[in-house]
Amino acid sequence: MLAFRVGSLLSAIPRLHGGLISPHTLPSVNARHVSVRTAMTASDEVVKAQAAALRLLADDDESTIFDRIIAKDIESTVVYEDELCLAFRDVAPQAPTHVLLIPKVRAGLTQIRRATDDHATLLGHMMVQAGSIGVRECPDGFRLVINDGAQGAQSVYHLHIHILGGRQMTWPPG
Ligand code: AMP
The CB-based long-range contact list for 85-92 (8 Å cut-off, 24+ gap) reads 85/122, 85/125, 85/126, 85/129, 87/129, 87/133, 87/163, 90/162
Domain that holds residue 50: 7-165
> Is residue 174 assigned to a domain?
no
Which residue's alpha carbon is at the smallest distance from atom 20 of ligand 1?
Answer: 91
- The pLDDT value recorded for residue 42 is 52
DSSP string, 34-82: ----SPP-TTHHHHHHHHHHHTTS---SPP-HHHHHHTTSS---EEEE-
- The pLDDT value recorded for residue 41 is 55
Report, as residue numbers or ranges, the catalytic residues: 160
- The pLDDT value recorded for residue 55 is 83
- The pLDDT value recorded for residue 16 is 36
> Is residue 170 assigned to a domain?
no
Rg of the chain over Cα atoms, rounded to whole angstroms, equals 16
- The pLDDT value recorded for residue 151 is 95
Which residue stretches of the chain have pLDDT < 50? 1-40
> Is residue 173 assigned to a domain?
no
Task: Give the Cα separation of 161 and 27 in Å (integer).
Answer: 27
pTM given for the model: 0.78
For ligand 1, which residues put their CB under 6 angstroms from it? 65, 74, 76, 90-92, 100, 147, 153-156
> Is residue 103 assigned to a domain?
yes
- The pLDDT value recorded for residue 38 is 43
> Is residue 29 assigned to a domain?
yes
Mutate which of 97, 98, 156 for ligand 1? The one with the most ligand atoms within 8 Å of its CB, which is 156
> Is residue 2 assigned to a domain?
no
> Is residue 60 assigned to a domain?
yes
- Helix, strand, or coil (residue 121): helix
Mutate which of 70, 91, 101, 143 for ligand 1? The one with the most ligand atoms within 8 Å of its CB, which is 91
> Is residue 172 assigned to a domain?
no
- The pLDDT value recorded for residue 46 is 80
Q: Are 109 and 103 in contact (CB under 8 A)?
A: yes
Domain count, the chain: 1
CATH number at residue 56: 3.30.428.10
- The pLDDT value recorded for residue 48 is 82
